[in-house]
Amino acid sequence: MGDGEGILPGQRIRARGAESNRAGRFESAGREAYDDGWDLPEEDRLVATEVRLERPRSAITYNRSPDLPFDRSINPYRGCEHGCIYCYARPSHAFLNLSPGLDFETRLIARPGIAEVLEAELRRPAYRVQPISIGTNTDPYQPLERDHGLMRQVLGVLSDFRHPVWITTRGTTIERDIDLIAAMAAEGLASVSISVTTLDESLARKMEPRAPAPKRRLQMIRRLADAGIPVRIQVSPLIPALTDHELEAVMEAGRDAGARAANTIPLRLPLEVSELFRDWLTATFPDRAARVMGRVRELHGGRDYDPEFGKRMTGQGLWADLIHRRADLARKRLGLSEGLPRLRCDLFRPPPKAGDQLSLF
């Protein structure tokens, strides 16, 4: 048998978040390693990252959630190699008949051509500009961006159209695009949020096995800020009895690195993420697993997760109130209360296409 559900004999897992590969909620059958009785040695091999290509039919995804400060987003990639065990985007892999567990971080999908599709959508006469959010599902600057460069292409289109964009990431490849982002930020068209969950290097390696180390993310904030790009530090997710004691320290480290704003969102465990996180927690921190999950359920009305609008992003109860009060006080003390400048929508202009007749005025 393998080390976890759905892990084949002979497979080894290294630097991955999930410890199992359970079937997603839409699959009719589960996965289980099976001993067929043949006494043959299995090849010992690491679970490798696979990348498939998908030709996108659309680029912009719209939402009507009252909990989100944006109504549209772009996802150049599906899945994320960072492997953050708590990632709320994991359940999206179930729509592909892939596991939200190990598949989510090893069977990735790149979407070449997304920049061209985006350009066509922005040229539609009915399009009405509002800021586009990138990185609120899977990270656009995860490692495969170095090979595929889709985010660079998307930013090129947004820059040409003078379209506002808000980027969320923890990937260092964003530094490659500082030239584009800084030029857009100078016109009020771009801002960046960098996620830092903990300053504890050992804990970060366990929770986010292939994401940059906390010190490196703070360095990213410094380099972006030095280029004139407005940066927010996101202390998210905040995990009770595991990282919540670091809230103020992480905000202060972000401020010292050049962040202009800070926010925090308590841990949320939708759908398959709940079981994956509990398995990881029991294996990694057995001494405090019950305490962590007890506080998580206190946050979400006695459940691992409450999906109700108005509660899912903030939590409820005394502990949630305390966290948000602490965050407010820390922002005031650190000078992070004003937030980031509002992105401009009035500069949006589709650039001329080849063959278009130019205006005389």
Whether residue 219 contacts residue 257, with contact meaning beta carbons closer than 8 Å, is answered with yes
Where do the H-state alpha helices sit in the chain?
102-106, 114-122, 145-148, 150-161, 178-186, 201-207, 214-226, 247-257, 273-284, 289-299, 318-334
Which pLDDT score is estimated for 3? 46
Strands 190-195 and 11-12: unpaired
43-47, 162-166, 208-212: least confident range: 43-47
Residue with token string 């972000």: 254
d(CA 6, CA 20): 6
d(CA 206, CA 151): 27
**Residues comprising the chain, all counted:** 361
Which pLDDT score is estimated for 2? 38
pLDDT over 50 (residue 265): yes
The whole-model pTM stands at 0.90
- Structure tokens that stand for 199 in this block: 């300053």
pLDDT over 70 (residue 357): no
pLDDT in tens, 199-239: 999 999 999 999 999 999 999 999 999 999 999 999 999 99
Q: What's the rounded mean pLDDT across residues 55-71?
A: 94
Percent of the chain with pLDDT over 70: 88
Cis ω before 237 (30° cut-off from 0)? yes
Taking Cα atoms as reference points, which of 147, 110, 158, 151 lies closest to residue 345?
A: 158
The helix/strand/coil state of 82 is: coil
Angle at 274 (CA atoms; ends 71, 291), nearest 5 degrees: 120
Distances (CA, A) of 185 to 32, 101, 192, 231, 325: 50, 37, 10, 10, 31
Mean pLDDT for the chain overall: 91
pLDDT over 70 (residue 262): yes
Which pLDDT score is estimated for 354? 72
Domain boundaries, the chain: 11-32+46-334
pLDDT in tens, 169-197: 999 999 999 999 999 999 999 999 999 99
Q: Would you say domain 11-32+46-334 falls under CATH 3.20.20.70?
A: yes
pLDDT over 70 (residue 38): no
Whether residue 67 contacts residue 266, with contact meaning beta carbons closer than 8 Å, is answered with no
Which pLDDT score is estimated for 31? 54
- Structure tokens that stand for 358 in this block: 């130019």
Q: Give the CA radius of gyration of the chain.
A: 21
Which pLDDT score is estimated for 1? 32
